[in-house]
C-alpha cells in the first residue's frame, strides 16, 4: 500500500529527540527558543511564538485581538475545520465566503461579506499556494473599509482596521512576490501537525509581523505569558537561582510547545528548503507532467510568476464528473493499493456549520471543486516509481468508471 503522507522520521531526528530526552529539560526551554529564532530568520517576519498546535496559535491571536461575542470573522468555506472552530471558541461568528478556481479565498467575496462587525479576515493558503495578499492587504486599508471598522479593544484601536490573520498551516516556505509566508500580512500561523510539510508531531507557530506602532518583540513577550496560564515566569526561567517568585496577570491558556517537539523542528527547518521542498516539487512536477497528457484531468496551479507553492497536497480535479463517480474512482484507486484523500469537505456541508444556517448552494465554486477533487500522496520518501504507480492507479480507475 502506498500511504498518503507518512512523516519523515530518520536517524537525525531520533538523535536530536534523544538528546532532548537526556538533557533533563523536555518541555518549553532552550530548544523552543532556538526554533523560534530559526523560524524568524527563515521567513523574515519580526518575531515567532511556538505553540502546541496551529489551532492554538490561531485561537491565541484571535483572543489577543479581543475577538468575541457580536464580532464576525471572514474565512473561506473551503478549509479544514480548525480555521472555523477557533472563531466559535471565541464566541464570534464565522462568516464563510467562496473560493476561486485556485482553491483560495475570493477577494471580491471578502469585500461583499465585510460589515461593521468584521474584526478579522483569515485567508488560508490551501494546499500550500499563497492567497492574493496584495489585494487582501489593500482591501483592509481602503478608506471606506477602514472607516466601517468599530474598535472595541486597545489593540483594535491601535490597528484601526480589520486584522489579517493568515492560516499558513500548509504553506511554510511558499513564496509570494519573493517573500515567504510569515511576512505577507499582519500575523501568520503555521502548523507542524504530523501530516504537514514540517512536522513536530503536534505543534504550531505564530509569526508576528504587525505594522507600526506595534512593538512585535513586546507582543511576543506578552504572548509567552498568555500562552502559559498568564504566569509571569515559565518553568525554565524559574529554575534559575532565586527566580522562584511569579505572578498571574490574567487567566491565560496552556498553549506552549515542548522542547521534544522543537528538537524535531530544528532538524527539519535546516534542510527544509534544500531538501524537503526540492523533493516535493519534483513529485508535483512529475504528477503535473503525467496528468497533462489526459484531457479529463485538471492539474492544479502551483507556480505563477508571482507565487510559488510549498507543494503540500496535490489536488487533482477530474473534469465533468459527479460526486458519486469521484467517490467510485477513489474506491477503485484504494483497491489498487494507493491511499488518496479529499481536501476538504467544505464546512457548510458539516452538520455543525449547517446548523448555524450555512447553505452549500451559496458556495458554488467550493462545492464544484470538492466534488471533483482527489488529493494524491506527496511525501519526502515517495519515489518516482511510486509516483508512476499512483498515476497508473488513477488513470486505470478513471477508465473503469
Ligand atoms: C492542519 C490545519 C490546521 C490546524 O493545525 P493543527 O496544528 O492541527 O492545530 C489549521 N488549518 C488548516 C487549513 C489545516 O490544514
- How far, in Å, is the centroid of ligand 1 from the Cα of 270? 22
Ligand 1, atom 13, lies closest to the CA of 80
% of the chain with per-residue pLDDT over 70: 100
Beta strands in 141-196 (DSSP E): 163-167, 175-176, 179-180, 187-191
Per-state percent for the chain, helix, strand, coil, to nearest 5? 45, 15, 40
- How far, in Å, is the centroid of ligand 1 from the Cα of 296? 31
- How far, in Å, is the centroid of ligand 1 from the Cα of 197? 12
Angle (nearest 5°) at CA 120 between 225 and 344: 100
pLDDT of residue 162: 98
Ligand 1 closest atom vs CA 189:
10
Q: Say whether pLDDT at 75 is over 90.
A: yes
CA distance 114 to 145: 8
Give the mean model confidence (pLDDT) for residues 183-205.
98
- How far, in Å, is the centroid of ligand 1 from the Cα of 190? 8
Ligand 1, atom 5, lies closest to the CA of 54
Inter-CA distances, 193 with 7, 17, 52, 254, 270, Å: 10, 17, 10, 17, 18
Q: Say whether pLDDT at 99 is over 90.
A: yes
CA distance 105 to 111: 11
Ligand 1, atom 8, lies closest to the CA of 193
pLDDT band at 314, cuts 50/70/90? very high
Contact in structure between 94 and 88 (CB atoms under 8 Å): yes
Question: Hey, what domains does the chain have and what are their CATH numbers?
Answer: 11-270 (3.40.640.10), 272-400 (3.90.1150.10)
Q: Quick one: angle between helices 54-64 and 216-226, nearest 10?
A: 110
365-394 confidence digits (pLDDT tens)? 999 999 999 999 999 999 999 999 999 999
- How far, in Å, is the centroid of ligand 1 from the Cα of 123? 13
Ligand 1 closest atom vs CA 126:
13
Q: Say whether pLDDT at 36 is over 90.
A: yes
Q: Say whether pLDDT at 312 is over 90.
A: yes
DSSP codes joined into one string, 193-260: -TTSSS--SS-EEEEE-PPTT--HHHHHHHHHHHTBTTBSS-HHHHTSTT-----B-S---B-PPPHH
Q: For the chain, what is the mean pLDDT?
A: 97
181: which 3 cell numbers?
Answer: 509566508
Contact in structure between 99 and 110 (CB atoms under 8 Å): no
Give the mean model confidence (pLDDT) for residues 148-160.
98
pLDDT band at 242, cuts 50/70/90? confident
100: which 3 cell numbers?
Answer: 476561486
Residue 284: CB partners within 8 Å, gap ≥ 6?
302, 309, 311, 314, 378
Ligand 1 pocket: which of 52, 79, 83 to mutate (most atoms within 8 A of CB):
83
Which residues, in sequence order, are bridge partners of residue 297?
A: 318
Rounded to a whole number, what is the distance in angstroms from the first to the last CA of the chain? Answer: 22
CA distance 328 to 397: 8
Contact in structure between 392 and 286 (CB atoms under 8 Å): no
CA distance 45 to 216: 10
Ligand 1 closest atom vs CA 204:
7
- How far, in Å, is the centroid of ligand 1 from the Cα of 183? 19
pLDDT of residue 243: 85
Pocket of ligand 1 (CB under 6 A): 53-55, 79-80, 82-83, 124, 167, 169-170, 191, 193, 204
- How far, in Å, is the centroid of ligand 1 from the Cα of 116? 28
- How far, in Å, is the centroid of ligand 1 from the Cα of 143? 33
Which residues, in sequence order, are bridge partners of residue 76?
A: 97
On whether the pTM is more than 0.75, the answer is: yes
- How far, in Å, is the centroid of ligand 1 from the Cα of 227? 18
Ligand 1, atom 2, lies closest to the CA of 169
398: which 3 cell numbers?
Answer: 478513471
CA distance 77 to 102: 14
Q: Say whether pLDDT at 222 is over 90.
A: yes
Ligand 1, atom 6, lies closest to the CA of 54
Amino acid at each position: 500500500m502506498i500511504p498518503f503522507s507518512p512523516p519523515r522520521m530518520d536517524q537525525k531526528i531520533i538523535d536530536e529527540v534523544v538528546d532532548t530526552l537526556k538533557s533533563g529539560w523536555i518541555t518549553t526551554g532552550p530548544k523552543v527558543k532556538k526554533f523560534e529564532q530559526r523560524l524568524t530568520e527563515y521567513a523574515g517576519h519580526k518575531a515567532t511564538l511556538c505553540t502546541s498546535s496551529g489551532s492554538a496559535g490561531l485561537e491565541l491571536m484571535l483572543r489577543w485581538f479581543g475577538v468575541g461575542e457580536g464580532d464576525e470573522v471572514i474565512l473561506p468555506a473551503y478549509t479544514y475545520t480548525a480555521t472555523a472552530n477557533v472563531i466559535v471558541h471565541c464566541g464570534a461568528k464565522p462568516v464563510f465566503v467562496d473560493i476561486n478556481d485556485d482553491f483560495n479565498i475570493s477577494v471580491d467575496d471578502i469585500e461583499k461579506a465585510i460589515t461593521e462587525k468584521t474584526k478579522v479576515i483569515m485567508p488560508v493558503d490551501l494546499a500550500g499556494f499563497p492567497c492574493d495578499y496584495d489585494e487582501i492587504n489593500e482591501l483592509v486599508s481602503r478608506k471606506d473599509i477602514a472607516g466601517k471598522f468599530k474598535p472595541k479593544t486597545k489593540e483594535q484601536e491601535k490597528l484601526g482596521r480589520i486584522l489579517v490573520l493568515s492560516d499558513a498551516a500548509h504553506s511554510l516556505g511558499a513564496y509570494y512576490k519573493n517573500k515567504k509566508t510569515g511576512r505577507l500580512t499582519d500575523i501568520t500561523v503555521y502548523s507542524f501537525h504530523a501530516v504537514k510539510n514540517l512536522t513536530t508531531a503536534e505543534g504550531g507557530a505564530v509569526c508576528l509581523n504587525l505594522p507600526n506602532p506595534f512593538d512585535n518583540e513586546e507582543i511576543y513577550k506578552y504572548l509567552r505569558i498568555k500562552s502559559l496560564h498568564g504566569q509571569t515566569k515559565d518553568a525554565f526561567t524559574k529554575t534559575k537561582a532565586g527566580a522562584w517568585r511569579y505572578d498571574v496577570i490574567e487567566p491565560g491558556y496552556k498553549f506552549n510547545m515542548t522542547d521534544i517537539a522543537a528538537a524535531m523542528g530544528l532538524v527539519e527547518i535546516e534542510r527544509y528548503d534544500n531538501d524537503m521542498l526540492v523533493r516535493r516539487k519534483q513529485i508535483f512536477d512529475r504528477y503535473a507532467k503525467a496528468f497533462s497528457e489526459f484531457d479529463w484531468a485538471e492539474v492544479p496551479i502551483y507556480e505563477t510568476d508571482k507565487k510559488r507553492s510549498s507543494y503540500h497536497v496535490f489536488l487533482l480535479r477530474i473534469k465533468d464528473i459527479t460526486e458519486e463517480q469521484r467517490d467510485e474512482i477513489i474506491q477503485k484507486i484504494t483497491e489498487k493499493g494507493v491511499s488518496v484523500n479529499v481536501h476538504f469537505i467544505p464546512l457548510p456541508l458539516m452538520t455543525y456549520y449547517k446548523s448555524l444556517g450555512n447553505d452549500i448552494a451559496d458556495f458554488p465554486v467550493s462545492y464544484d471543486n470538492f466534488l471533483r477533487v482527489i488529493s494524491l500522496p506527496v511525501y519526502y520518501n515517495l519515489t518516482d516509481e511510486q509516483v508512476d504507480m499512483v498515476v497508473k492507479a488513477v488513470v486505470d480507475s478513471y477508465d473503469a468508471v
